[in-house]
Amino acid sequence: MKDLVEYLARTVVDQPEAIRVEERKGREGVVYYVETAPEDKGRIIGRQGRVIESIRTILRSFARGRVSVEVR
């Protein structure tokens, strides 16, 4: 799943080499933290959060448990 998050994030930004994904497991499930270059943060969030919501939806469709994606 981490690879999928990384792939999806890299496709929407201008500096794909700056993408870093960290996976943390907790009580509420798995949380993926996506770090990107400051100038690409708006691209990965998208207008009104549409891009990040799409990434979350794709992950939830593949996940067996609770999954969340956060942008740093």
Give which of 7, 15, 8 is closest to 54, Cα–Cα. 8
pLDDT at 27: 87
Burial degree of 21 (CB within 10 A; 0-12, 13-18, 19+) = buried
Give which of 47, 53, 40 is closest to 12, Cα–Cα. 40
pLDDT at 53: 97
pLDDT at 65: 87
CATH code assigned at 11: 3.30.300.20
Instruction: Provide the residue range defining the domain that includes 54.
Output: 2-71
Domain count, the chain: 1
pLDDT at 29: 93
Q: Which positions of the chain have pLDDT values less than 70?
A: none
Tens digits of residue pLDDT in 19-33? 999 999 988 899 999
